[in-house]
A and B are shown apart, each in its own frame.
Chain A
Amino acid sequence: QKEVEQDPGPLSVPEGAIVSLNCTYSNSAFQYFMWYRQYSRKGPELLMYTYSSGNKEDGRFTAQVDKSSKYISLFIRDSQPSDSATYLCAMRREAAGNKLTFGGGTRVLVKP
């Protein structure tokens, strides 16, 4: 079983729709959960950062973590064509400085 699994997509939605992304993981030691956005041939850009279970909202973005199910989600409300990118989930263990383990990314296309 892969440590972090993510559906590769592509996920195509009309402009204004809600984009729903998720990852599952197997390592219960993961405590910090992140979502990065990556445009083609660019570096990952940190979008959301959550610790342990719960929800976090930032503008149009909502991140959810369910540690009991080893499942994390990212929701993008009122999606825009500029949201078209690959979204990577990443996670790490407790200590600062620990490596990130990434999912394979989900490609999202928001059509005008």
Chain B
Amino acid sequence: EPEVTQTPSHQVTQMGQEVILRCVPISNHLYFYWYRQILGQKVEFLVSFYNNEISEKSEIFDDQFSVERPDGSNFTLKIRSTKLEDSAMYFCASSDLGTGASRQYFGPGTRLTVT
């Protein structure tokens, strides 16, 4: 069964460093998303991406964040200068194009620890 994959599974970085989190969405999906989950808190939407541009972003997704689809398979989230409060699980999701009945499937997540 097709699945969303994410690398790395765990990333440790120092405050102020740049990190890139990588995702490979399900191959025939055209909508891509990043969510994050701070430990013990709810899953929060960050950004959605369609047709090579951001379609929606939350107030969390400030200028420190960017997304890119560098090739036909990868979808990345970059954090330019990490802060302690960026420590969280980051989930990539994808959904197919079509009617409103499209379903979002999540990857296993990348645990980001900022020290």
Which chain A residues have a beta carbon within 8 Å of chain B's beta carbons?
A: 31-32, 34, 36, 41-46, 49, 51, 88, 90, 94-105
- By the criterion CB–CB under 8 Å, are B111 and A41 in contact? yes
- Which residue in chain B gives the minimum CB-CB distance to A105? B42
Q: A96-B31, A99-B33, A105-B42 are in contact. Are A45 and B106 (CB under 8 A)?
A: yes
Q: Which residues of B contact A32 (CB under 8 A)?
A: 100-101
Kindly state the interface size class of chain B when it binds its partner.
20 to 34
* Selected contact of A102 from candidates B43, B105, B109, CB within 8 Å: B43
Q: Which residues of B contact A90 (CB under 8 A)?
A: 43
Q: Is the interface of A mostly helix, strand, loop or mixed?
A: loop
- By the criterion CB–CB under 8 Å, are B100 and A95 in contact? yes
Q: Which residues of A contact B98 (CB under 8 A)?
A: 96
- By the criterion CB–CB under 8 Å, are A99 and B100 in contact? no
- By the criterion CB–CB under 8 Å, are B109 and A41 in contact? yes
Which chain B residues have a beta carbon within 8 Å of chain A's beta carbons?
A: 4, 31, 33, 35, 41-45, 48, 50, 55-56, 58, 89, 91, 93, 95, 97-109, 111
Q: Which residues of B contact A49 (CB under 8 A)?
A: 101, 103
* Selected contact of A96 from candidates B43, B56, B93, B99, CB within 8 Å: B99
- Which residue in chain B gives the minimum CB-CB distance to A94? B100
Q: Which residues of B contact A42 (CB under 8 A)?
A: 108-109
Q: A41-B109, A96-B31 are in contact. Are A46 and B103 (CB under 8 A)?
A: yes
| 12 A-B interface contacts by CB (under 8 A) | A31-B100, A41-B109, A43-B107, A46-B105, A88-B43, A96-B98, A96-B102, A97-B97, A98-B48, A99-B56, A102-B44, A103-B42
